[in-house]
């Protein structure tokens, strides 16, 4: 059996350890004439992603094309057959103008926008039952290894996810499990392959103080601890109910001076990527929360200087770096547009500016994608939570 190892990005594969509990498996993918084959699998053997029974053949041994209009929605359709494996056409790699799969009775359709996201982007996923929306009792899932937080809307369910910056010109995997009203323990699983476009940008060359290009060994422990703190903040955002509602707003009125994902060279030797968006602003200029959330951490970090992290819930975190002054403390609930600090030049900088950071769980994303989230994506149909985690959870 020819498993699609060459198409799957390694981080996405780790999302499938619980596949043995499902009764429906996705088989194959559609791209430039990919042949679909029905494959039976023993549930007892399906213990990880690599054992999910997926078999496909590219005519002539060619590679699946990228295809797809950025404005289209990807689609996957899964027939509800709780006693049998179901054959699912994965339309993650759509050719332009290709017709959508048929909506058969008793199906669930998974769509996502944009169809072919850029690396480091947010993705909106929607699940549409073919029938009454309340025929599905619950939805859970993962994208690129991060949990999805589906919420019910008029025509089904919506969730926000993300694709990693390191997944450019590759594929990430979405997995969605549906539970049906009156279906007992039976579940249906849809796997979708989402093609990711690389993020291309011109390299920036910067000169900073030598200790920020190559920190001395004496600071290694501090930097490690700070990295662990940030990782914990990102993970805990999955435990917080969604507090934000679209749209997000800009944290600064300054012009964008450096975009997300830009390759950087510090002092001619140290290479990295820019994991945020920079706004040019004078010292003391206002910095505002981009949406409602809970202040998760305020501290002076080595690289990011005086920093505020806000947990917006449902996996979303934003960070505000290089501040000169902060006006909030951990545990504060802040509103969209609220003043939280002042622009500065603390940490690794070449000049005074604001670095705005965004993340979905452990996936760092282009924070400008947050501003692009519109109410038309159906979050206006759902009221955000009024409070975050309880004190016992903090």
Domain spanning 204-393: which superfamily? Glucose Permease (Domain IIA) (2.70.70.10)
Span 301-319, average pLDDT? 96
DSSP state of 125: E
Span 283-310, average pLDDT? 97
Domain with CATH 2.70.70.10 in the chain: 204-393
> Where is mean pLDDT largest: 62-71, 178-187, 240-249, 287-296?
287-296
* Position 137 confidence tier, pLDDT thresholds 50, 70, 90: confident
pLDDT (tens digit, 9 = 90+) per residue, 162-221? 999 888 778 898 999 888 777 667 778 889 999 999 887 676 666 777 776 778 888 899
24/91 Cα distance (integer angstroms): 17
* Position 109 confidence tier, pLDDT thresholds 50, 70, 90: confident
316/289 Cα distance (integer angstroms): 13
Residue that has been written with the tokens 């507090």 in this structure: 243
Question: Phi and psi dihedrals of 237, rounded to 5?
Answer: -65, -25
pLDDT exceeds 90 at position 380: no
* Position 351 confidence tier, pLDDT thresholds 50, 70, 90: confident
pLDDT value for 377:
57
pLDDT value for 23:
26
pLDDT value for 167:
82
pLDDT exceeds 90 at position 282: yes
What count of other Cβ atoms lies within 10 Å of the Cβ of residue 332? Answer: 17
156 token code pair: 């089904």
pLDDT value for 386:
60
126/110 Cα distance (integer angstroms): 6
pLDDT (tens digit, 9 = 90+) per residue, 66-104? 333 334 455 554 433 332 233 233 333 332 333 333 333
* Position 241 confidence tier, pLDDT thresholds 50, 70, 90: very high
pLDDT value for 175:
92
| Least confident span in 21-35, 110-124, 310-324 | 21-35
pLDDT value for 75:
55
pLDDT exceeds 50 at position 341: yes
Nearest-5° angle of CA 109, CA 115, CA 117? 135
pLDDT (tens digit, 9 = 90+) per residue, 41-67? 223 222 333 332 232 222 333 333 333
**Contact present, 143 and 125 (Cβ < 8 Å):** yes
Q: How far is CA 146 from CA 39, 142, 235, 359, 394, in A?
A: 27, 5, 9, 11, 21
Question: Phi and psi dihedrals of 80, rounded to 5?
Answer: -80, 105
Task: Give me the percent of the chain exceeding a pLDDT of 70.
Answer: 63
Span 22-40, average pLDDT? 27
Span 321-337, average pLDDT? 97
Return the biggest CA–CA distance within the chain.
64
**Contact present, 214 and 270 (Cβ < 8 Å):** yes
pLDDT exceeds 50 at position 127: yes
SS3 helix, strand, coil % of the chain, rounded to 5?
A: 15, 35, 50
pLDDT value for 270:
58
pLDDT value for 216:
83
pLDDT (tens digit, 9 = 90+) per residue, 256-277? 888 787 776 766 775 677 788 8
Closest CA to 323 of 347, 302, 350, 291: 347
Q: What is the mean pLDDT of the chain?
A: 72
| Least confident span in 179-188, 234-243, 302-311 | 179-188
Q: How far is CA 306 from CA 31, 105, 241, 377, in A?
A: 48, 56, 27, 34
DSSP state of 242: P
38 token code pair: 């029905």
59/33 Cα distance (integer angstroms): 7
């Amino acid at each position: 059996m020819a498993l699609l190892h060459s198409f799957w990005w390694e981080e996405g594969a780790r999302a499938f350890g619980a596949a043995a509990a499902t009764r429906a498996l996705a088989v194959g993918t559609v791209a430039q004439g990919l042949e679909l084959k029905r494959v039976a699998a023993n549930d007892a053997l399906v213990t990880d992603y690599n054992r999910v029974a997926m078999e496909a053949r590219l005519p002539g041994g060619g590679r699946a094309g990228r295809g797809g209009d950025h404005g289209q929605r990807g689609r996957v359709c899964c027939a509800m057959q709780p006693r049998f494996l179901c054959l699912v056409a994965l339309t993650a790699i759509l050719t332009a103008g290709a017709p959508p799969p048929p909506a058969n009775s008793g199906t669930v359709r998974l769509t996502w926008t944009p169809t072919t996201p850029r690396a480091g982007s947010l993705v909106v996923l929607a699940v549409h039952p073919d029938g009454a929306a309340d025929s599905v009792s619950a939805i859970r899932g993962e994208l690129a290894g991060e949990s999805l937080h589906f919420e019910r809307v008029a025509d089904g369910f919506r969730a926000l996810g993300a694709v990693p910056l390191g997944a450019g010109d590759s594929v990430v995997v979405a997995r969605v499990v549906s539970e049906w009203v009156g279906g007992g323990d039976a579940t249906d699983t849809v796997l979708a392959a989402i093609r990711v476009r690389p993020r291309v940008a011109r390299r920036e060359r910067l000169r900073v103080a030598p200790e920020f290009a190559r920190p001395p060994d004496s600071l290694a422990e501090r930097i490690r601890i700070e990295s662990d703190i940030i990782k914990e903040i990102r993970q805990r955002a999955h435990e917080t109910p969604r507090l934000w509602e679209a749209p997000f707003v800009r944290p600064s009125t300054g012009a964008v001076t450096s975009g997300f994902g830009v390759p950087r060279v510090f002092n001619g030797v140290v290479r990295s990527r820019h994991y945020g968006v920079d706004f040019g602003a004078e010292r003391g200029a206002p910095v505002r929360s981009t949406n409602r959330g809970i202040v998760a951490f305020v501290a002076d970090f080595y690289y990011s200087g005086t920093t505020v992290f806000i947990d917006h819930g449902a996996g979303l975190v934003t960070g505000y770096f290089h501040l000169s002054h902060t006006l909030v403390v951990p545990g504060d609930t802040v509103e969209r547009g609220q003043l939280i600090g002042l622009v500065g030049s603390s940490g690794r900088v070449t000049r005074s500016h604001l670095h705005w950071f965004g993340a979905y769980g452990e996936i760092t994303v282009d924070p400008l994608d947050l501003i692009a989230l519109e109410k038309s994506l159906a979050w206006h149909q759902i009221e955000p939570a009024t409070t975050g985690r309880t004190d016992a959870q903090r």
